[in-house]
Amino acid sequence: MATQVMTHAFNRKRELTALKKIVVGHDFSDAADHAFADAMALAGRFNAQIVIVHATEVNADKTSYLRRKRDRGAMDDIVKHVAQAGYSCKDVVRSGVPAATLYDVVDEESPDLLLVGAYGNGSQERGTLGSTTELLLRSISCPVVTYGPKFGRPLFQDAKPFSILVPIELPCDPRCLSFAIEVAKLFRAKLEILHVIDMDHADSMPHAFQDMQYACEEIATRLRMGGVEVAGSVLFGKPDAAIVSRSQELQSSLILIPLETRGHLSSTKSDNVAAHVIRNSNVPVMTYRID
């Protein structure tokens, strides 16, 4: 299925009104541990089933065999831990490429949410995202919560009020607004919509700024009609840096970014804002397909 990860993506077909099943990609990295801890918290809140997925190497040498045996034991311990907490859990351990394995399991299990680390056990200093995350974000059907290398505090384990930063383009795709409302209602969260004016691509000022402020307020009003608490802002700057900075200023719980199906999400390309945000944000980033 590896070749299908990028070429046979499918649409999100149901609303995110509850969490009944959560898939966690686990490679025993710190990021995976954070994802698993949040999955446990969500299972407790929504009575959801947890599906833990681990991809093992396909090499046949003795070292790989010992590593697979060790990983199998570690997965058994994780499943026992979940069962002792009283939650429903299953594990999937397969040989193969992590991205393809996760893609296939999501296809088979139809979860409401996927939790995954951005880098795994690889280098966290490189400018691009991990290869698994690169392939998955634009092709997985369900929303994906990605834990970057600067993630610093619990997301779903914390009892503090939940707030979500929602970067938007103007004009704004209505599908982005609909999903933002779904997520806000699910987690009883406040939304902050943000439009960033990239000065390198700005056509006219200052009247364009006033128009965008007005457009953002209109969008906020529409979201309030959906029954959620909303604030909005327009900032100047480089989009990814402004999003991360605003998230820190507001102490957002989560950043919500829509994605379309196309090539790699490599953060070495200047237009791939989501990759830069995941790389630099101290809170997780939820991405979702809008095509």
225-281 pLDDT, tens per residue? 888 999 999 998 999 999 999 999 999 999 999 887 655 443 333 347 888 899 899
Superfamily per CATH, domain 4-147: HUPs (3.40.50.620)
Distance CA 250, CA 165 (A): 8
CB 114 within 8 A of CB 106: yes
The class (CATH top level) of 163-289 is alpha beta
Q: What per-residue confidence (pLDDT) applies to 186?
A: 94
Asked if residue 30 has pLDDT above 90, the reply is: no
What are the tens digits of pLDDT across the range 202-231? 555 555 778 888 888 888 988 898 889 999
Q: What per-residue confidence (pLDDT) applies to 124?
A: 45
Distance CA 191, CA 176 (A): 13
pLDDT band with cut points at 50, 70 and 90 for residue 152: confident
pLDDT band with cut points at 50, 70 and 90 for residue 125: very low
- Residue keyed to tokens 């594990």: 91
Distance CA 207, CA 266 (A): 34
Write down the domain spans for the chain.
4-147, 163-289
Higher pLDDT, 172 or 105: 105
3-class secondary-structure state, position 179: helix
CA angle 48, 53, 54 (to 5 degrees): 155
Q: What per-residue confidence (pLDDT) applies to 8?
A: 38
Q: Where are the beta strands (DSSP E) in the chain?
A: 21-25, 49-56, 89-95, 113-117, 144-147, 163-167, 190-197, 230-236, 254-259, 285-289
CB 165 within 8 A of CB 255: yes
DSSP conformational letter for 253: S
Strand partners, 232: 193
Strand partners, 50: 22, 89
What are the tens digits of pLDDT across the range 129-149? 555 666 678 788 899 999 988
Equal fold, 4-147 vs 163-289: yes
Please compute, for residue 213, the number of CA atoms within 13 A of its CA located in the half-sphere on the CB side. Answer: 8
